[in-house]
Amino acid sequence: MKKATPKSSQLHTTNSTASSDQRQRLLIALRRVGNEGLTTIQIREQLDIMMPAARVHELRWNYGYNIQAIPAHDRNAQGNRHTCKRYVLFSGQWDKVRRAA
Tens-digit pLDDT profile for residues 9-37? 443 456 789 999 999 999 999 999 999 99
Distance CA 52, CA 35 (A): 18
User: What are the C-alpha distances in Å from 41 to residues 8, 60, 71, 76, 96?
Assistant: 23, 20, 13, 6, 25
pLDDT digits (tens, 9 = 90+) for 35-74: 999 999 999 999 999 999 999 999 999 999 999 999 999 9
Q: Which residue has the higher pLDDT, 9 or 92?
A: 92
> In the prediction, which pLDDT does 15 show?
78
CB 54 within 8 A of CB 20: no
pTM, rounded to two decimals: 0.80
